[in-house]
């Protein structure tokens, strides 16, 4: 089968360092490919070359004539758009039905009337997804599609992508997302691509085998160089031509060794640990918190003991950050008691990287602008050495933070948080923008950490590997704690997060009053017509009128008493068509009547 799109021998250099040296990619119809590589390896750049946004220094790009391509960037451009609906509809092909744009906007929790300039990170990501999904392109290129999305939206996106027939190329740090969707893996490593016709679940074993084989080959090369150097020093001095040839071979071997670009090392994440806390770290009893009429936390109690790993999950806007602030004493509850244990030393990682001054340098961010050392485990360490532990180069010490990539900012925030002596780590979205190798090291570090960990994350695989319990919102401010990781929670709960949580969160929004046993609003008062229901109410009358005309025409045709004997085939066809049209009309009338009754109930309840 001919590829829909193909890159061959792609090379690209930024500054003086080659980013891509010999990269290739081929995408056939219906393929599901994940693009894997370290932060800074050039994954996003390669995807932009596939999309035709960046021109390479060398190589060819072929796109099958007529194939449609849509690209989801990490940072979408909303300039010149006044509403999210306008932004999404601008991605449609000429002649496409705008219904699909409206449908996806609704599915992704937007109204279409939002001002793009005021969108949160999650809302911007959902609008961008609706824009690239609406045209149903032949090739969909997704760069970190799960960033800023909550778990319910991530799981919806998985189902939506699985139901589509188009080809898919995706970059993501979400292991579960990649494992569920990918069928082939392309590894971008040191400027070159390697491919395996298996999904992401097979990648790490395959990668480790390749790196181990490289190490063996380099070891053989080193031994060969030593042997050649020994022969030149102590071998027979005669046979001058042979000596010259072997000297040339030695220079060639040394050149191979010098030009070899070894695999990038792993980050070295070590938390600076304070003295042990008391056995009880946090105790919360019957805490409550509301903002206006919206109940965020309603009568929640928990106990966090030393060495516990607690995960907090839920949709965006459910109140996860508020709950974690209450539990750690950063924000008081409206009622109830929160007690922190003895000798608590807390280090925090905030979600939005708000404490970073974009004009300051990397070294200043780590040292606080004081000297050139960082205190790690009570001992001074030169800032450059500490930077290297987190995979920063010496040359980046004076780099302004505003030019760092998302992954580099994530590693910097981790470096700052882990340098502080602690026995309680509070991490809000620690996995954002981190590559898979750094995630591995973070998981290992948290496993070795003697203190207590409380974290918010939308990474299901990370939660399963790290936490010992999960706190989940059930709607109306109710939170329940489940033992085990994310998968264990789903098993105990018997449903996914969306089934209960989203309904409860919507009820607790602006349109709903605080739920009480004596004054709970009716189902009709909380109910709104969906876009599909509104569309059906508008279009069903026209459909019913057309069906009535078809029925009248067919009935008039069958009223001819000579039709059966004159044209038996037409009689049978018309009879079958009449039966179908009558059934379709009955169904449409019942549907329209149900929706009209529902609309009247909603109007009465809201008046």
- E strand segments, 57-181: 58-63, 69-72, 139-143, 167-171
Give the model's pLDDT for residue 434: 76
Q: Residue 263 has which token pair?
A: 């695999």
Task: Give a yes or no: residue 514 inside a domain.
Answer: no
Average pLDDT over residues 21-40: 92
Confidence of residue 526 (pLDDT cuts 50, 70, 90): very low
Answer yes or no: do 40 and 76 share one domain.
yes
- 373 forms beta bridges with 382
Q: In which domain, by residue range, is 286 found?
A: 280-507
Last-in-domain residue among 478, 507, 536: 507
Average pLDDT over residues 134-153: 92
Give the model's pLDDT for residue 260: 54
Task: Give a yes or no: residue 517 inside a domain.
Answer: no
Beta strands 346-349 and 424-428, pairing class:
parallel
Task: Give a yes or no: residue 296 inside a domain.
Answer: yes
Rounded distance between C-alpha atoms, residue 233 and residue 588, angstroms: 95
Collapsed DSSP state (helix, strand, coil) of residue 170 = strand
Rounded distance between C-alpha atoms, residue 393 and residue 60, angstroms: 32
Cα 418 off chain centre by: 24
Question: Which of 177, 193, 302, 386 is CA-nearest to residue 185?
Answer: 193
Q: Residue 471 has which token pair?
A: 């706190």
| CATH code of 80's domain | 3.40.50.300
Cα torsion angle, 210, 213, 215, 221, sign: negative
Give the model's pLDDT for residue 195: 95
The pLDDT tens digits for 446-502 are 888 889 999 999 899 989 988 999 999 988 899 999 988 898 888 888 766 654 544
The pLDDT tens digits for 386-432 are 788 777 777 788 888 777 766 777 778 878 878 888 899 998 888 87
Name every residue whose Cβ is closer than 8 Å to that of residue 298 and which is 6 or more positions away in sequence.
Answer: 288, 476, 477, 478
Instruction: Tell me which H or E stretch contains 36.
Output: strand 32-36
Q: Which of 22-36, 137-151, 362-376, 537-551 has the lowest mean pLDDT?
A: 362-376
Q: Taking 70 as the threshold, does the pLDDT of residue 525 lie above it?
A: no
Rounded distance between C-alpha atoms, residue 34 and residue 31, angstroms: 10
Last-in-domain residue among 205, 221, 250: 205
Average pLDDT over residues 260-270: 59
Task: Give a yes or no: residue 269 inside a domain.
Answer: no
Q: Are the C-beta atoms of 271 and 422 separated by less than 8 Å?
A: yes
Question: Which of 418, 421, 442, 420 is CA-nearest to residue 431?
Answer: 442
Task: Give a yes or no: residue 272 inside a domain.
Answer: no
Higher pLDDT, 246 or 9: 9
The pLDDT tens digits for 152-204 are 899 999 999 999 999 999 999 899 999 999 999 999 988 899 999 999 999 98
Rounded distance between C-alpha atoms, residue 160 and residue 253, angstroms: 52
Q: Taking 80 as the threshold, does the pLDDT of residue 55 lie above it?
A: yes
Neighbours of 123 (CB within 10 A): 18
Q: Residue 456 has which token pair?
A: 């918010």
If you average pLDDT over every residue of the chain, what do you get? 82
Rounded distance between C-alpha atoms, residue 304 and residue 302, angstroms: 7
Answer yes or no: do 105 and 160 share one domain.
yes
Rounded distance between C-alpha atoms, residue 270 and residue 448, angstroms: 9
Answer yes or no: do 244 and 192 share one domain.
no
Give the model's pLDDT for residue 572: 83
Give the model's pLDDT for residue 29: 93
Task: Give a yes or no: residue 268 inside a domain.
Answer: no
Last-in-domain residue among 464, 479, 507: 507
Answer yes or no: do 364 and 471 share one domain.
yes
Q: Residue 346 has which token pair?
A: 């807390």
The answer to whether the pTM exceeds 0.85 is no
Confidence of residue 520 (pLDDT cuts 50, 70, 90): very low
Task: Give a yes or no: residue 134 inside a domain.
Answer: yes
Give the model's pLDDT for residue 517: 35
The pLDDT tens digits for 343-390 are 999 988 865 555 667 788 888 888 877 778 887 777 788 888 878 877
Average pLDDT over residues 21-39: 93
Answer yes or no: do 100 and 128 share one domain.
yes
Rounded distance between C-alpha atoms, residue 119 and residue 112, angstroms: 12
The pLDDT tens digits for 325-349 are 999 999 999 999 999 998 999 988 8
**What secondary structure does DSSP assign to 170-216, as a single string?**
EE-S-HHHHHHH-SEEEEEETTEEEEESS-GGGHHHHHHHHHHHHHH
Answer yes or no: do 502 and 419 share one domain.
yes
Answer yes or no: do 547 and 589 share one domain.
yes
Answer yes or no: do 305 and 436 share one domain.
yes
Half-sphere exposure in the Cβ direction for 512 (13 Å, CA): 24
Q: Residue 279 has which token pair?
A: 């056995």
Task: Give a yes or no: residue 266 inside a domain.
Answer: no
Rounded distance between C-alpha atoms, residue 519 and residue 513, angstroms: 9
Rounded distance between C-alpha atoms, residue 274 and residue 267, angstroms: 22
Answer yes or no: do 33 and 171 share one domain.
yes
Q: Taking 70 as the threshold, does the pLDDT of residue 606 lie above it?
A: no
Average pLDDT over residues 50-62: 94
Question: Which of 137, 184, 146 is CA-nearest to residue 164?
Answer: 137
Residue found by looking up tokens 């049209």 in the block: 581
How many structural domains compose the chain?
Answer: 4
The pLDDT tens digits for 79-130 are 889 999 999 999 998 878 888 899 999 999 899 999 998 888 889 999 999 9
Answer yes or no: do 53 and 142 share one domain.
yes
| CATH code of 568's domain | 1.10.287.380
- E strand segments, 358-431: 373-376, 379-382, 424-428
Answer yes or no: do 439 and 566 share one domain.
no
Answer yes or no: do 212 and 352 share one domain.
no
Q: Are the C-beta atoms of 93 and 68 separated by less than 8 Å?
A: yes
Q: Residue 331 has which token pair?
A: 């924000």
Residue found by looking up tokens 């056995």 in the block: 279
Average pLDDT over residues 438-453: 85
Q: Residue 208 has which token pair?
A: 């480790």
Rounded distance between C-alpha atoms, residue 471 and residue 480, angstroms: 6
């Amino acid at each position: 089968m001919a590829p829909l799109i193909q890159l061959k021998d792609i090379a690209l250099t930024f500054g003086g360092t080659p980013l891509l040296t010999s990269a290739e990619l081929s995408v056939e119809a219906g393929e599901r490919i994940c693009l894997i590589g370290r932060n800074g390896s050039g994954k996003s750049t390669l995807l932009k070359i596939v999309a035709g946004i960046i021109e390479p220094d060398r190589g060819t790009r072929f796109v099958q004539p007529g194939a449609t391509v849509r690209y989801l960037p990490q940072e979408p451009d909303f300039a010149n758009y006044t509403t999210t609906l306008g932004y999404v509809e601008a991605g449609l092909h000429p002649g496409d039905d705008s219904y699909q744009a409206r449908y996806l906007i609704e599915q992704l929790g937007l109204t279409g009337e939002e001002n793009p300039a005021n969108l949160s990170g999650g809302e911007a990501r959902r609008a961008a997804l609706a824009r690239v999904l609406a045209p149903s392109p032949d090739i969909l290129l997704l760069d970190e599609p799960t960033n800023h999305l909550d778990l319910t939206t991530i799981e919806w996106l998985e189902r939506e992508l699985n139901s589509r027939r188009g080809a898919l190329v995706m970059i993501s740090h979400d292991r579960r997302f990649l494992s569920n969707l990918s069928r082939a893996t392309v590894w971008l490593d040191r400027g070159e691509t390697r491919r395996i016709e298996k999904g992401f679940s097979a990648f790490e074993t395959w990668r480790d085998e390749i790196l181990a084989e490289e190490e063996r080959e380099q070891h053989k090369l080193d031994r060969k160089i030593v042997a050649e150097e020994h022969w030149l020093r102590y071998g027979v001095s005669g046979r001058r031509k042979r000596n010259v040839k072997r000297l040339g071979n030695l220079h060639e071997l040394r050149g191979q060794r010098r030009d070899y670009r070894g695999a990038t090392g792993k980050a070295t994440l070590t938390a600076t640990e304070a003295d042990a806390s008391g056995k009880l770290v946090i105790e919360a009893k019957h805490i409550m918190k509301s903002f206006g009429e919206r109940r965020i936390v309603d009568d929640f109690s928990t106990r966090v003991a030393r060495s516990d790993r607690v995960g907090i999950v839920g949709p965006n806007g459910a109140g996860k950050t508020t709950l974690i602030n209450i539990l750690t004493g950063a924000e008081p509850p409206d009622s109830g008691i929160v007690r922190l244990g003895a000798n608590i030393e807390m280090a925090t990682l905030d979600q939005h990287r708000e404490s970073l001054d974009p004009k300051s340098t990397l070294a200043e961010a780590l040292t606080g602008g004081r000297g050139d050392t960082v205190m790690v485990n009570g001992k001074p360490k030169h800032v450059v050495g500490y930077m290297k532990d987190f995979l920063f180069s010496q040359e980046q010490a004076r780099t302004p933070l505003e030019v760092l990539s998302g992954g580099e900012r994530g590693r910097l925030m981790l470096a700052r948080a882990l340098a502080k002596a602690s026995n309680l780590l509070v991490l809000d979205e620690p996995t954002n923008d981190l590559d898979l190798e750094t995630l591995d090291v973070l998981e290992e570090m948290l496993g070795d950490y003697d203190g207590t960990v409380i974290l918010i994350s939308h990474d299901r695989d990370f939660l399963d590997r790290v936490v010992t319990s999960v706190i989940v919102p059930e709607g109306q401010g109710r939170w329940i704690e489940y033992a085990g990781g994310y998968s264990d929670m789903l098993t105990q709960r018997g449903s996914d997060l969306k089934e209960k949580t989203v309904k409860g969160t919507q009820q607790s929004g602006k349109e709903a009053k605080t739920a009480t046993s004596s004054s709970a609003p009716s189902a009709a008062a909380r109910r709104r017509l969906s876009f599909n229901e509104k569309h059906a109410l508008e279009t069903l009358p026209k459909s019913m009128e057309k069906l009535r005309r078809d029925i009248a025409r067919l009935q008039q045709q069958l009223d001819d008493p000579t039709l059966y004997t004159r044209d038996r085939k037409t009689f049978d066809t018309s009879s079958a068509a009449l039966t179908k049209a009558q059934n379709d009309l009955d169904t449409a009338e019942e549907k329209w009547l149900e929706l009209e009754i529902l609309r009247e109930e909603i109007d009465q309840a809201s008046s």
